[in-house]
């Protein structure tokens, strides 16, 4: 796996200027914006998605035929993509969180609790993003995956509308139902979110493995 990780990190050099720009935007947001979550979230999501781009780079010019003739396994390849995404996303998340924390402490502005919540809420979203994007990219490739994601998004919107309409027709108040749910502490909510994200990652990895094992190069 280490060899593949090195390859992907070396490929990142191609988009060096893009990442420098991302870093500058992140720093700019940290210094100028009061909104900690966007200052942490934006660079975290964008950079972690390079794991998806790296799959496109592998596929480009029939590169997979050679790549999978190297001494690697298909499951090792899939594991490496998740690791790569988590290292990138996690790394940028930690870095941008540290920058935001330093700026906040220096300014003595944001309450520590709010900052912690903003920071902690980004991580599960980033993991779920990877959990959705990696198998879609492996299955459909660069071009078709965009269409697949749009279709999936459309399906979710239609499903949401259908549920709302059905609730209206049955005279059920969904918001009142949500309000009646037992109140959870913030820590528990974040804990649950991380747990759900990890579960999503495990399911996603299973799907990716099934996809890659059926692939022909």
Partner 1 sequence: MLEINGLVKRYGDFTLDCTMHVEKGRITGLIGQNGAGKSTAFKAVLGLISTDGGTIRIFGKEQGELTVKDRQKIGVVFADSGFSGYLTVSDIVPVLANLYTDFDKAFFLKQAKRFELPLRKKIKEFSTGMKAKLKVLTATASHAKLLLLDEPTVGLDVVARDELLELLREFMEEDEENAILISSHISSDLESLCDDLYMIHSGKIVLHEDTDVLLSDYGLLKVDERQYAGLDRQYLMRVRRGPYGYDCLTNQKRYYMENYPGIAVEKGSIDEVITMMIRGDEV
- Site of interaction with partner 1 (CB under 8 A): 2-4, 6-7, 10-11, 13-14, 57-58, 60-66, 68-73, 76, 216-217
Whole-number minimum distance, CB 56 to partner 1, in Å?
10
Whole-number minimum distance, CB 3 to partner 1, in Å?
4
Nearer to partner 1, 73 or 109 (CB): 73
CA distances from 68 to 50, 162, 205 (A): 20, 44, 18
CA nearest to 26, candidates 85, 98, 84? 98
Nearer to partner 1, 9 or 140 (CB): 9
Helices 112-169 & 50-59 angle (0-180, nearest 10): 70
Nearer to partner 1, 58 or 78 (CB): 58
Nearer to partner 1, 2 or 180 (CB): 2
* Residue 108 phi, psi dihedral angles, 5° rounding: 55, 45
CA distances from 37 to 33, 96, 116, 151 (A): 10, 10, 10, 28
CA distances from 53 to 76, 143, 190 (A): 18, 12, 29
Beta strands in 5-131 (DSSP E): none
Whole-number minimum distance, CB 14 to partner 1, in Å?
5
Q: Is 139 helix (H, G, I), strand (E, B) or coil?
A: helix
Nearer to partner 1, 66 or 153 (CB): 66
Beta strands in the chain (DSSP E): none
CB 41 within 8 A of CB 35: no
Whole-number minimum distance, CB 71 to partner 1, in Å?
4
Q: Is 182 helix (H, G, I), strand (E, B) or coil?
A: coil
Whole-number minimum distance, CB 89 to partner 1, in Å?
22
Nearer to partner 1, 45 or 68 (CB): 68
Whole-number minimum distance, CB 79 to partner 1, in Å?
13
């Amino acid at each position: 796996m280490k060899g593949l990780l090195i390859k992907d990190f070396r490929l990142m050099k191609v988009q060096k200027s893009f990442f420098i720009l991302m870093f500058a935007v992140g720093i700019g947001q940290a210094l100028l914006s009061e909104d900690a979550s966007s200052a942490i979230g934006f660079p975290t999501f964008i950079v972690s998605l390079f794991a998806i781009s790296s799959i496109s780079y592998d596929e480009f010019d029939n590169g997979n035929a050679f790549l999978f003739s190297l001494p690697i396994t298909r499951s090792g390849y899939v594991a490496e993509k998740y690791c790569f995404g988590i290292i990138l996303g996690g790394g940028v998340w930690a870095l941008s969180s540290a920058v935001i924390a330093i700026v906040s402490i220096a300014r003595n502005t944001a309450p520590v609790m709010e900052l912690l919540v903003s920071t902690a809420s980004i991580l599960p979203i980033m993991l779920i993003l990877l959990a959705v994007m990696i198998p879609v990219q492996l299955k459909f490739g660069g071009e078709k995956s965009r269409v697949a994601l749009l279709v999936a998004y459309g399906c979710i919107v239609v499903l949401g509308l259908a549920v709302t309409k059905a609730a209206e027709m049955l005279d059920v108040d969904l918001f009142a139902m949500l309000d009646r749910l037992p109140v959870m502490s913030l820590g528990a909510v974040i804990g649950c979110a991380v747990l759900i994200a990890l579960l999503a990652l495990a399911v996603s990895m299973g799907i990716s493995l099934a996809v890659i094992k059926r692939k022909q190069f």
